[in-house]
Amino acid sequence: MAYEHEFDGHRALLFTPGASGDPVLLQRRRGALIQDRSPDLVAPAIEPLLKRPGPGR
């Protein structure tokens, strides 16, 4: 886990799915899910997951 100072904007954690079909989640420090408000952050996180080989591939 990495920490850095945030001088502007919001701090959040991005959770990638463990299983195929699970959503990518973006969570604020206080627990609110905000992935629907930040598609520009979620979309690049999904791209490598689509290229990841799954079971039986």
Per-residue pLDDT tens for 26-50?
A: 998 889 999 998 888 888 888 877 7
pLDDT, residue 51, reads 76
46-55 long-range contacts, Cβ below 8 Å, gap at least 24?
49/16, 49/17, 49/24, 54/20
* 15-30 residue pLDDT tens: 988 777 788 899 988 8
Q: Rounded to two decimals, what is the model's pTM?
A: 0.63
Q: Is the pLDDT of residue 3 over 80?
A: no
Distances (CA, A) of 2 to 5, 12, 13, 23: 10, 12, 11, 22
